[in-house]
Amino acid sequence: MAAPVLDVAGLRFAWPGSSQDCLRIEALRVQASESVFLYGPSGCGKSTLLSLMAGVLQPREGHVTLLGQDWAGMRAGRRDQHRVDHVGYIFQQFNLLPYLSMIDNTMAPCRFSPPRAQAATLRSGSVRAAAQFWLTGMGLSARDWNRSVRDLSVGQQQRVAAARALIGDPALVIADEPTSALDEDRRNSFLDLLLSSCRASGSALVFVSHDQRIAQRFDRQLQLAQINHADTAMESEP
C-alpha cells in the first residue's frame, strides 16, 4: 500500500496548564484521494485534532506526519511553508483577509507557495483563471469577484474560504464545518465539487460536520470517540 498522506501515531495532547491529555489517538491514517467524515459532539476535540493535523499545534508525544514529514521535526518557518504548500484549510471562522477582494483572497495561497501556483497554472492556465474556476464552482458571481470580503454575506465568505483552500490542489484538505452557512442546494453543489476535485487531484480530505445527512457521501465515517482514548475528551476545547 502507498504511504499515507496523513499519518497520526501515538498522539498525546494536553492544553497548557492541564495535567491530563484531552486527545490520545494511537493510529489514524488518511490516504491520497480518500475522504473522511469526522464527527462528534461539540467540545470533543475535533477542531483541536484538525489543528494537530495541520501542524498548527504540536503533540506532547507521538507523531503527526504529512507526506512523510513530521511536523514536530520542523522549525516554525519550515512548518509554515510545508503547510501553505500542502494543506488547504477551510476554517470554521473563515480567516479571510479583510483588506483583499474575493478573488485576491482565493489566489493568496499561490502567492506564498510556488508548488500550488504551478499546480493551479497547470490546471487552468494561470493562477487567476484557477481562482475564477473555483469561485464559479462555488456559485459566486463574477460581478462580485472584486468586492472586498468585508461586504460579503456569511455564506459567501464561507464559499470564498473553500475556494481558497482548494486552489493549487493541496495534498490535504481540512474542512471544519464548511457547509454550516449554506442552504441545501448550495451545500450539495459544494460537496459535489469538493469531493470530485479531491479525488481528481489525489487530495486527502478530512471533513468535520454535525450534519449526519451527508456522511454517506464520504469514503469513511469516523466518530472521534472511537479513536480518542483520553479520559477528558469532552473537555478538550479551551
Q: Give me the domains of the chain, ranges plus CATH numbers.
A: 6-235 (3.40.50.300)
**Cα-flanking dihedrals φ and ψ of residue 215, to 5°?**
-60, -40
Bridge partners for 207 per DSSP: 37, 175
Would you state the cell numbers that stand for residue 121, as one nine-digit string?
497554472
The CA distance from 40 to 226, in Å, is 10
Please determine, for residue 13, whether its predicted confidence score (pLDDT) is greater than 70: yes
What element of type H or E holds 105?
Answer: helix 102-112
Q: Cell 516554525, residue?
A: 76
Please determine, for residue 232, whether its predicted confidence score (pLDDT) is greater than 70: no
Find the mean pLDDT for residues 95-108. 95
What is the pLDDT, as a whole number, of residue 235? Answer: 46
Find the mean pLDDT for residues 136-151. 93
Q: In whole numbers, what is the pLDDT of the chain averaged over residues?
A: 93
3-state secondary structure of 161: helix
Would you state the cell numbers that stand for residue 31, as one nine-digit string?
490516504
Cα distances (Å, whole numbers) of residue 23 to 44, 58, 61, 193, 233: 9, 12, 11, 32, 6
Q: What is the 8-class DSSP label of residue 44?
A: S
pTM over 0.85: yes
What is the pLDDT, as a whole number, of residue 8? Answer: 98
Among residues 49, 26, 38, 27, the alpha carbon closest in space to that of 233 is found at 49
